[in-house]
Amino acid sequence: MATREITYQQAIQEALRSEMRADPTVILLGEDIAGGATTVDEDAWGGPLGTTRGFIKEFGKERVRDCPISEAGFVGAAVGAATTGLRPVVELMYNDFLGTCLDQILNQAAKLRYMFGGKAKVPMVLRTTIGAGLRKASQHSQTLYSIFAHIPGLKLIAPSTPYDMKGLLISAIRDDDPVVDFEHKLIYWKKGPVPEESYTIPLGKADIKRPGKDVTIVAISRMVDFSLEAANKLTSERIDAEVVDPRTLWPLDEATILESVKKTGKVVIVDESTPNCSMARNIAAIIADKAFDYLDAPVKCVNAPPTPVPFSPSLEDFYLPNPDKIFKTVMSQFKD
């Protein structure tokens, strides 16, 4: 089968479709995912971004279930259904709504296997969206994977390309543990080459998005694009940057990151979450621990500032990491 250009959102749709066709235990739960199918049109909406538009027609109401605004209830129901044999894919429209259902994730989904001596399993996926830049203010723009990363028992993916999205989401659905999928809203319409057939990308495997020899940039989700832009600009300074995309935030592919850092001796980590206890600082600590002797400059992080996300477009632009901030941070690594 052929490889063609599709969007990140289409990659999500393909992953969901192929797994739903292959496995009748895969079901979808979420608000407006059927689009409030009424007398007018069976799927008028398909979620605010339209991702599951058309699904109810193919898979029916039993498998594509619109939920009331009862996140604790339906996320918890997904956990329960998973323990007894279904593979629910549950959508939390924005990761900011984590607060409403955290107990079900933190104390139920993440704990059952361990607490019951390995005898329970929770093969579910929580799909959610992250990211600032759409002027959606403090309660709809956060990037919260670092909070989830603190919870043992969860696996986390943060795909940055359509190709990674499809392969990782299929792996996540087939995985026997709870996986949280962080989809960045601002790359939903980004296109990239994706094979038509189903394929998997193993969880816990990083990808080198740009090979280089002078400095390592570890970047997560949308920050990969920004880092590639910065890397391009760095060539004019005769700096050849390697961009490493962990893709899976937990389990984390330490080996690939460390190997790159050992080769370049310099590292900048780019992460849209706020700095305290962030993925960036987590990776920095691992590097300081395991590659200290190879470093010839301090480990630097580029995070969002430790503030909520402001609404005002001008303030939000200051808030976000961008290629220029990454460029400058990398350049600071090369000052004697």
Partner 1 sequence: MDSEKLIEMYRQMLLIRRFEEKAAEMYMMGKIGGFCHLYIGQEAVAVGAIAAIRKDDYVIASYREHGHALAVGTEPRRIMAELFGKATGISRGKGGSMHIFDAERNFLGGHAIVGGHIPLATGVGFAINYEGKDQVVLCFFGDGAVNTGVFHESLNLASLWKLPVIYICENNFYGMGTAVTRAMAGPEMYLKAKAYDIPGELVDGMNVLEVWEKVGKAVERARHEKIPTFLEVRTYRFRGHSMSDPALYRTKEEVNEQRKRDPIVTFKQKLIAEGILSEEKFEEMEKEIKAIVDEAVEFAEKSPEPPEEWLYEDVYA
Ligand X SMILES: Cc1ncc(C[n+]2csc(CCOP(=O)(O)OP(=O)(O)O)c2C)c(N)n1
- DSSP states of 245-261 as a string? E-SEEES--HHHHHHHH
* x-marked contacts with ligand X along 20-59 as a string, rule CB under 6 A: -----------x----------------------------
Which DSSP symbol is given to 142?
-
310 lies in the site for partner 1, by CB under 8 A: yes
Q: Which residues pair with 97 in a beta bridge?
A: none
Which 193-252 positions form the footprint of partner 1 (CB under 8 A)? none
30 lies in the site for partner 1, by CB under 8 A: no
96 lies in the site for partner 1, by CB under 8 A: yes
Query: Distance between CA atoms of 269 and 326, rounded to whole angstroms?
Result: 9
Binding footprint of partner 1, residue count (CB under 8 A): 42
Least Cβ distance, residue 148 to partner 1 (angstroms): 18
Nearer to ligand X among residue 188 and residue 226 (C-beta): 188
Structural Rg of the chain based on CA atoms: 20
CB 132 within 8 A of CB 312: no
Nearer to partner 1 among residue 189 and residue 318 (C-beta): 318
Strand, coil or helix: what is 67?
coil
Least Cβ distance, residue 31 to ligand X (angstroms): 5
Residue 140 appears among annotated catalytic residues = yes
Name the one range near ligand X by CB under 6 A: 92-100, 162-170, 200-208, 254-262: 92-100
108-114 long-range Cβ contacts below 8 angstroms, 24+ apart: 108/76, 108/79, 109/79, 109/82, 109/153, 109/154, 109/178, 110/151, 110/152, 110/153, 110/154, 110/178, 111/153, 112/79, 112/83, 113/153, 113/177, 114/152, 114/153
Query: Distance between CA atoms of 305 and 62, rounded to whole angstroms?
Result: 43
69 lies in the site for ligand X, by CB under 6 A: yes
Least Cβ distance, residue 311 to ligand X (angstroms): 15
Which residue of the set 53, 65, 127, 140 is catalytic?
Answer: 140
- Please select the residue that binds partner 1; options are 69, 115, 255, 277, rule is CB under 8 A: 69
The option from ligand X, partner 1, none interacting with 308 (CB < 5 to 8 A, set by class) reads: partner 1
Judged by the rule CB under 8 A, the positions of this chain that interact with partner 1 are: 31-32, 35-41, 44-45, 48, 66-70, 72-73, 96-97, 99-100, 134-140, 305-308, 310-315, 318-319
Instruction: Report, as residue numbers or ranges, the catalytic residues.
Output: 140
